[in-house]
Amino acid sequence: MATKYKEKLIGFECTTCKRITYYSKKNKKTIKEKLQLSKFCKFCKKHTPHKETKVK
Ligand SMILES: [Zn+2]
């Protein structure tokens, strides 16, 4: 049985400085909604909301 996981590389963009500070993988079949997380941004030097963005 061939199982293909459609895992997609995504980035987390800081909503303050608009820079991608984290990378992750997402299974599009299990998670459909856009993710938003509070993460530490090394550029802003504080916790900021990060939103999911596409990575090429
Ligand atoms: Zn930032």
24: CA distance to ligand 1 center in Å?
A: 17
Cα of 47 vs centre of ligand 1, distance in Å, is 8
Q: What is the pTM of this model?
A: 0.76
Rounded to the nearest angstrom, the distance between the alpha carbon of 15 and the centre of ligand 1 is 7
Boundaries of every domain in the chain: 8-54
Residue 32 half-sphere exposure toward CB, CA atoms < 13 A: 1
Give the model's pLDDT for residue 31: 77
Among 18, 56, 11, 16, smallest CA distance to 34 is for 11
The alpha carbon of 44 and the centre of ligand 1 are apart by a number of angstroms equal to 4
Query: Of the candidates 13, 2, 3, 25, which has an alpha carbon nearest to the alpha carbon of residue 51?
Result: 13
Level-2 CATH architecture, domain 8-54: Single Sheet (2.20)
pLDDT at 56 over 90: no
Contact 23, 56 (CB under 8 A): no
Q: What is the pLDDT of residues 1-53, one digit of tens each?
A: 666 667 888 999 999 999 999 999 888 788 788 888 999 999 999 999 999 99
